[in-house]
Structure 1
Amino acid sequence: MPQDNRQPLAISCNCRKIEKLKSEWKYSGINVEQSKLTFSNFEEWNEAASRVKDTAAAYCTEFDEIRNKRRNSLLLCGQVGSGKSHISVAVALNFLKQKIKVVYMPYRDVITKIKQNMIDQEYYSKAISKYQLCEVLLIDDLFKGKINESDINIIFEIINYRYLNFLPVIVSSEFTIDRLLAFDEGVGSRIYEMCKDYAVEIEKDIRNNYRLK
């Protein structure tokens, strides 16, 4: 009886898919641990968590229809530990599966590195362009830590370019919408206008911190 070789072929095919996914995560800046942050393992442990998940899910579902419109972005802001980063990454992973290229920008790390290399004009331009031009940009923990004028100028360059060119952003931040607007109206108002239809502000309340549950 001839030997059935279909099983090894299926295993080989599956391995290639996994390697391709890992390659896409690497391009996006998403690490292997973050790749476990999916919609399916996000716990809807209170009303705020359900609103975050439902809004992000609606954003994913409607993305093709809105991606070239003014309000084509997602904002999750407010209380620390409320699942904002988890769901933001889950959205990015969902897009990657649909062949939509996402670049992950951990705000504090990226801004620090850019500022350290500002004197190198070639590096600076290349770094800024990466976040200006990508198909979808995920900014995680916007304005985290101590912020100075250079930080604001850098993020304004990125946000303003994307705003003018109708390029989507996914933003997570501990800042409330009012605080974003008060802190820097130029950046805050652009983000708010882009995210207006898909914005969730989680009330600053220790009971909304999953880590303390």
Structure 2
Amino acid sequence: MKKPSYKCSKCCDTGWILIPQEKSQPLAVGCECRDVEKVKNEWKYSGINVEMTTHTFSNFQVWNEASQRAKDTATAYYTDFSEVRKERRNSILLCGQVGSGKTHLSVALGLNFLKQKIKVVYMPYRDAITKIKQNMLDHEYYTRTISKYQLCEVLLIDDLFKGKINESDINIVFEIINYRYLNFLPIIVSSEFSIERLLNFDEAVGSRIYEMSKDYVVEIEKDMRNNYRLK
């Protein structure tokens, strides 16, 4: 007879480990795999896939002055977060050169906040906007999705304004950003565009993001030497 295969050999996928007691029934103790599954479920709810969980501060490659500045700003934001999270300037913006590690640092921040039980929602801009627009006639879906991005403790917007932008895109982003701006809810934003370009897309959106992130802004110069993928 084939021996059963378990994901966790310690508890045989029950989530509990029985510890024998001399004069009583065995003591049931929660297996560590329960915590692992809980964390994975939090990642899944947040939109951060398992592959992205390798993005940490410790394995971020610093290769020049721009990457050092980005890492220093991200770590400073993480350190200061508990003090600034309810302030007007409670957010961070990493923008500029493609391939400069903006997503890596943004996700590293998100994962660290999740470990602190701070609810982070990951919004991959292009995919999220496309799905929202495809379901705009579904009022329940639209409201539920927009609310998720508006109400979460921390919103991580990755690759803001990636792809072709139209008025509908701007309106959706404004609805999300303006709510968070008015309610002092932090955002983590990465974008390949400069601050000037973000303002040109829409001044109302760009100026709100800039004001919220003013103390933690890194704009990486458009220069192929700042693209780690080309090293």
Question: Is the pair's TM-score, using the shorter chain for normalization, greater than 0.5?
Answer: yes
Structure 2 portions without partners, runs of 5+: 1-18, 21-26
Aligned residue in 2 for 1:160: 178
Superposition pairs for residues 45-194 of structure 1, below 5 Å? Answer: 45-194=63-212
SS in 2 for 1:82: coil
| Cα distance in 2 for residues equivalent to 1:52 and 1:24 | 26
Structure 1 residue 212 corresponds to structure 2 residue 230? yes
Measured after TM superposition, the shift of residue 14 of structure 1 is: 2.5
SS in 1 for 2:215: helix
Aligned residue in 1 for 2:36: 18
Aligned residue in 2 for 1:39: 57
| Cα distance in 1 for residues equivalent to 2:30 and 2:37 | 11
Structure 1 runs of 4+ aligned residues shifted over 2 Å read: 11-14
SS in 1 for 2:50: coil
Measured after TM superposition, the shift of residue 12 of structure 1 is: 6.2
| Cα distance in 1 for residues equivalent to 2:82 and 2:228 | 32
- Larger proportion of helix: 1
| Cα distance in 2 for residues equivalent to 1:13 and 1:207 | 48
Measured after TM superposition, the shift of residue 32 of structure 1 is: 0.4
Measured after TM superposition, the shift of residue 122 of structure 1 is: 1.4
Measured after TM superposition, the shift of residue 13 of structure 1 is: 3.3
Higher relative contact order (CA 8 A, sep 6+): 1
**Letter of the structure 1 residue corresponding to residue 48 of structure 2:** I
| Cα distance in 1 for residues equivalent to 2:88 and 2:188 | 14
SS in 2 for 1:45: coil
Measured after TM superposition, the shift of residue 19 of structure 1 is: 1.1
Aligned residue in 1 for 2:221: 203
| Cα distance in 2 for residues equivalent to 1:63 and 1:182 | 29
Structure 1 portions without partners, runs of 5+: none
| Cα distance in 1 for residues equivalent to 2:192 and 2:124 | 13
| Greater C-alpha radius of gyration | 2
Measured after TM superposition, the shift of residue 55 of structure 1 is: 0.4
| Cα distance in 1 for residues equivalent to 2:31 and 2:101 | 34
Measured after TM superposition, the shift of residue 123 of structure 1 is: 1.2
- The percentage of counterpart residues that share the same residue type is 78
| Cα distance in 2 for residues equivalent to 1:200 and 1:13 | 42
Query: Over aligned residue pairs, what C-alpha RMSD do you find?
Result: 1.6
| Cα distance in 2 for residues equivalent to 1:96 and 1:37 | 13
**Letter of the structure 2 residue corresponding to residue 114 of structure 1:** I
